[in-house]
Amino acid sequence: MFLENARRLIADGVYDIAAFNIEQYCQLILKYKLLVKTGTYPRTHSLTRLVNELSKLSVPFNVLLEKEEYLLMLTKIEDAYIASRYLPRRYSKIEVEAMLRYVTEVVKPLVERV
């Protein structure tokens, strides 16, 4: 529902909350996959740490940490968690649409294959 909500919020022009919803989707799907595969997950909000843990189970996940454009987008999404809570950060339509594309075209297919 976080991903669907992000799409709806983008359509409505509410980019800040859309970015947060994209981050929440990533965080929860990564934790879910770790829980299913290992029986636990790290108590963290860091997407890079969660991806690092999943890369130990599935080598293809390394691409998210090793390919520059993927790592930059992952950390941008990770920052949305902090920005939504503590900073007066405003996101643009272009930014959140890029985040959504990255998640649906890169992250989600990798998670589904693990």
Q: What is the CATH number of the domain that holds 7?
A: 1.20.120.330
**Predicted model pTM:** 0.92
Q: Which tokens sit at 96?
A: 């959140």
The predicted-structure confidence for 70-97, as pLDDT tens digits, reads as follows 999 999 999 998 887 777 788 999 999 9
Domain that holds residue 67: 2-113
The DSSP annotation for 18-43 comes to HHHHHHHHHHHHHHHHHHHHHS---S
- The tokens describing 16, both together, are 């800040």
Q: Is the pLDDT of residue 65 over 90?
A: yes
Number of compact structural domains in the chain: 1
CA geometry: angle 96, 83, 106, nearest 5 deg? 40
Percent above pLDDT 70 for the chain: 100
Give the N- to C-terminal CA distance of the chain in Å, as an integer: 21
Q: Directed axis angle between helix 47-55 and helix 68-86, to 10°?
A: 140
pLDDT for res 110 = 92
